[in-house]
Amino acid sequence: MSNIKLFQDKKIRTYHDEIREEWYFSIVDTIAVLTDSSIPKRYWSDLKKKLLKEGFQLYEKIVQLKFEAADGKKYATDCAETSNLLRIIQSIPSPKAEPFKLWLSQVGYERLQEIENPELAQERMKELYEKKGYPKDWIDKRLRGIAIRQNLTLLTKANKSPKEAVRLQE
pLDDT tens-place string over residues 13-44: 999 999 989 999 999 999 999 998 899 999 99
**pLDDT tens string 68-125:** 988 999 999 999 999 999 999 999 999 988 988 999 999 999 999 999 998 898 898 8
| 25 φ, ψ (degrees, to nearest 5) | -120, 140
Q: Which residues contact 30 (CB under 8 A, 6 or more apart)?
A: 12, 85, 88, 89
pLDDT at 92: 94
Taking residues 159-169, what's their average pLDDT? 58
pLDDT at 32: 93
pLDDT at 146: 84
pLDDT at 153: 77
**Gap between the Cα atoms of 8 and 102, Å rounded:** 18
**Gap between the Cα atoms of 24 and 35, Å rounded:** 20
pLDDT at 151: 77
Neighbours of 77 (CB within 10 A): 21
Cα-based angle 70, 71, 73 (whole degrees, multiple of 5): 105
> Band of the pLDDT at 1, cuts 50, 70, 90?
very low
Q: Which residues contact 27 (CB under 8 A, 6 or more apart)?
A: 44, 62, 77, 78, 79, 80, 85, 88
pLDDT at 167: 59
Provide the β-strand partners of residue 3: 14
Least confident of 56-60, 93-97, 162-166: 162-166
Confidence check: pLDDT of 6 > 60: no
pTM greater than 0.95:
no
Taking residues 132-150, what's their average pLDDT? 89
**Gap between the Cα atoms of 159 and 36, Å rounded:** 58
